[in-house]
Amino acid sequence: MALGATGLIALAGLDPAAAGPVPVQDNPNVFGLREGYTPMVSNLVSMMDWMRGVVLGSVRGLSTSELDFLLDKEANSIGAMLMHLAATERFYQLNSMDGRRWGNWPSEDRRRFSVASGLGDNARAKIKGNPLSYYMDTLKEVREETLVRLKNLDDDWLLRTDPNFAWGPTNNYCKWFHVVEHESNHNGQIKLIKSRIS
Amino acid sequence: MALGATGLIALAGLDPAAAGPVPVQDNPNVFGLREGYTPMVSNLVSMMDWMRGVVLGSVRGLSTSELDFLLDKEANSIGAMLMHLAATERFYQLNSMDGRRWGNWPSEDRRRFSVASGLGDNARAKIKGNPLSYYMDTLKEVREETLVRLKNLDDDWLLRTDPNFAWGPTNNYCKWFHVVEHESNHNGQIKLIKSRIS
């Protein structure tokens, strides 16, 4: 069965031995080459795009009070979890793309994202009252930065191992897969909480 | 920064142009080539292994009553969710590896996995009273079958698009990424529910 023929264009510079145009996919359900990214980075971008679409589908149309709803006194709100996803992605940019030690963030990023990163009491107190657009805009801004940065990185970078990561030696593919599956982890919680909003 | 040197062996038949041995990784946090799999299938196997390790970490040591705990009358138990993960993986094997239309399952698989696949009332009534080992054994059995099958499949298969999937045209990489992120989705719920067991 052939790949769908969406977006058949010639990609220069990827594989000089390729005998013809490389199929670039623009169907989110067809993972593979994405325009402007190296092959393995394309697979990561495929996952990021697809997963983000799923999360956005879960929160579409939620009101401020729904975004602030707390399942119980230990729960995180959906709004706080959305901000937490943006914070996580920003911190992985700083760690894996700028080579910063985990936690050694510029003060601007610390001010903007540390509460969301930590969730819990502090996030319950401080992250509320915002419309959905606030979270969407933040997620979009951080994602756009990730995608611009990934265009200037390649498969060698993706496979590069950080010997000093908290989990032990970990490569960038693993770190960024975690950023993606972490959205699914919280999406599972978002769906559970959303179905209990009273 | 070089890749970790774990498991440096020559892999025959992957890339005749490669000038030396291909590094095969056995650190779960270093995604990349896995012995016996083609390059992109190796990336998928990397994700599957890593994600499964996270889920197993969440449920380690849970008792039967903890596995049966219901957060409220609409909730799925942790045990039912673990069986649901095995069911999902089995159905994606049948769909993507055997070419079966979704839902057109052999009667043995339907009997074994349909309740878990559907979750809800039926799963609350029927999936309970089992020790953790029951779920672990089922997950392991299904995963071993996936891994054996993937050794005989390749990157062309992974990129192949099913034009008739329920989501619209979808390739096997997307389907199997979903199988993996779906574990994370339920792991988020498992962690939330586990922290509320009274």
The per-residue pLDDT for range A150-163, each reduced to its tens digit, is 999 999 999 999 99
Q: What share of chain A is helix, strand, coil (3-state, %, to 5)?
A: 55, 5, 40
With beta carbons under 8 A apart, name residues in chain B contacting A173: 31-32, 43, 46
For residue A45, what pLDDT is reported? 98
Task: For residue A168, list chain B residues with Cβ-Cβ distance below 8 A.
Answer: 27, 29
ipTM of the complex: 0.88
Measured in whole angstroms, the distance separating CA B46 from the mean position of its chain's CA atoms is 11
- CB atoms near residue B106 (< 10 Å): 11
Q: At what angle do helices B39-59 and B172-194 cross, to 10 degrees?
A: 10
pTM for the complete prediction? 0.88
> Is A187–B188 a contact, with Cβ atoms under 8 angstroms apart?
yes
- Residue B161 phi/psi, 5-degree rounding, is -100, 135
Q: How many CA atoms lie within 13 A of A73 on its CB side?
A: 0
Which mean pLDDT values do the consecutive 10-residue runs of chain B (198 residues) have? 32 36 76 96 98 98 98 96 98 98 97 97 97 98 98 98 96 98 98 95
Nearest to A190 by CA among A73, A43, A85: A85
DSSP SS3 for A132: helix
* Mean of the per-residue pLDDT values of chain B: 90
Distance from the B156 Cα atom to the nearest Cα atom in chain A, whole angstroms: 9
Phi, psi for A139 (deg, rounded to 5): -60, -40
How many angstroms separate the CA atoms of A181 and A55, rounded?
11
What are B102-117's pLDDT values in tens digits? Answer: 999 999 999 999 999 9
Query: Strands B170-171 and A170-171: what pairing?
Result: unpaired
In this prediction, residue B149 carries a pLDDT of 98
Tell me how close the Cα of A154 comes to any Cα of chain B, in angstroms: 14
Q: What is the pLDDT along chain A (198 residues), one digit of tens a residue?
A: 333 333 333 333 333 333 444 567 679 999 999 999 999 999 999 999 999 999 999 999 999 999 999 999 999 999 999 999 999 999 999 999 999 999 999 999 999 999 999 999 999 999 999 999 999 999 999 999 999 999 999 999 999 999 999 999 999 999 999 999 999 999 999 999 999 998
- pLDDT at residue B26, as a whole number: 75
For residues B66, B90, B165, B175, the Cα torsion angle rounded to the nearest 10 degrees is 70
Look at residue B154 in the predicted model and tell me its pLDDT.
98
